[in-house]
Amino acid sequence: MTSDSTFEQIRKFFDIIGALSLFTHRFFMNVLKPPYEIKEVAKHMYELGVKTFPIVSVTGVIIGVVLTLQSLPIMIKFGAEAFLPYMVTLSVIRELGPVLTALIFAGRVSSGIGAELGSMRVTEQIDAMEVSAIDPFRFLVVTRVIATTMILPLLTVYVNFLAIGGGFFASYISMGTTYDLYMSQVIEVVKFGDIIPGIGKTVVFGFIVGITGSFLGYNADKGTEGVGKASTTSVVYSSLLILIFDMILVQVTLWLWPAS
């Protein structure tokens, strides 16, 4: 196999984004139509939760600890160490919690969905559904995308908690910050409504992970190679799209909440 030129790769990227947009359109044409596959959605949510719980737990604590230890010397230098809890909480809630959780979620879940649907495509399970008069798009894709969209915000809230906990732990060890002092600053941040845009964008990220994995799996090439490709490409595309949308959404947030 020859490796593509940069130009060729860029063209391919936009081809996929174009087809992905159509796929997304198809999702919205189907999502509101009954019957709703509530049982399937619940099953997928549970599976996704179980699958990602350990890794996001570890990530959450580490975000808080590392952020605190990294920032401490700088804050001390500016004589602002009293604001450390404020800064850590703000970074976690606004940016690090949502984006890092989403990227980890993308790595774990989008590849899983890509592989799962890819192998269903390759072994003709999707065709089998179709000839049984069951709409595979609704049953397989719509349910998964709803599940990822709903579960990622929940995971992010959980990660935020752990990260703030990790931040407290690190400040307590290094500076002896008391719980009351730390919490009073955390509450300040939460009060200012920074939590809504932070969690809000994870709805978009969750959607991206679900739709990208589904799209690449659903349209996988025949052959076992197609499954592997669907799986790895899903991670690349969903991570990239998460970062691009993060950039866009940060701008939108700044328009909507200029004061904070």
Partner 1 sequence: MARKLVEVKDVYKSFGDQPVLSGVSLDVTETQNLVIFGKSGTGKSVLLKCMVGLLTPDKGTIFINGIDVLNIPLKEMNELRKNIGFLFQGAALYDSMSVRENLAFPLIRNFNFTPKEVTQKVERALDMVSLSHAIDKMPSELSGGMRKRVGLARSIITEPMLMLYDEPTTGLDPITTKEISKLIRDLQQELKMTSIAVTHDLICAQIIADRVIVLNDGIILFEGDLDTLTSLDDPFLKNFFSPEYLEDNYG
Q: Which residues bind partner 1 (CB under 8 A)?
A: 116, 119-120, 123-125, 127-134
Residue 79 burial class via C-beta count within 10 angstroms: exposed 0-12, middle 13-18, buried 19 and up: exposed
- Residue 41 CB, shortest distance to partner 1, in Å, is 15
> Taking the CB of residue 187, how many other CB atoms lie within 10 A of it?
11
Query: Between the CA of residue 215 and those of 3, 20, 76, 224, what are the distances in Å?
Result: 24, 7, 49, 17
Q: What is the Cα–Cα distance from 85 to 67, expressed in whole angstroms?
A: 10
CB of 131 to partner 1, least distance (A): 5
- Assess contact for 126 and 172: CB atoms under 8 A: no
Other residues' Cβ atoms within 10 Å of the Cβ of residue 249: 18
**Cβ 186 to partner 1, closest distance in Å?**
42
Q: Residue 103 or 120: which CB sits closer to partner 1? A: 120
Of 35 and 54, CB closest to partner 1: 35
Nearer to partner 1, 32 or 131 (CB): 131
Question: Between 9 and 25, whose beta carbon lies closer to partner 1?
Answer: 25
Q: In this complex, which beta carbon is closest to partner 1, that of residue 126 or of residue 242?
A: 126
Closest to partner 1 by CB, 98 vs 112, is 112
In angstroms, what is the minimal distance from the CB of 125 to partner 1?
A: 5
- Nearer Cβ to partner 1, position 96 or 147? 147
As measured in angstroms, the least distance from the Cβ of 66 to partner 1 is: 38
Closest approach of partner 1 to the CB of residue 129, in Å: 8
What would the two tokens of residue 64 be?
């808080």
Residue with tokens 């709903």: 150
As measured in angstroms, the least distance from the Cβ of 176 to partner 1 is 52
Q: Looking at the chain, how many residues does it have?
A: 260
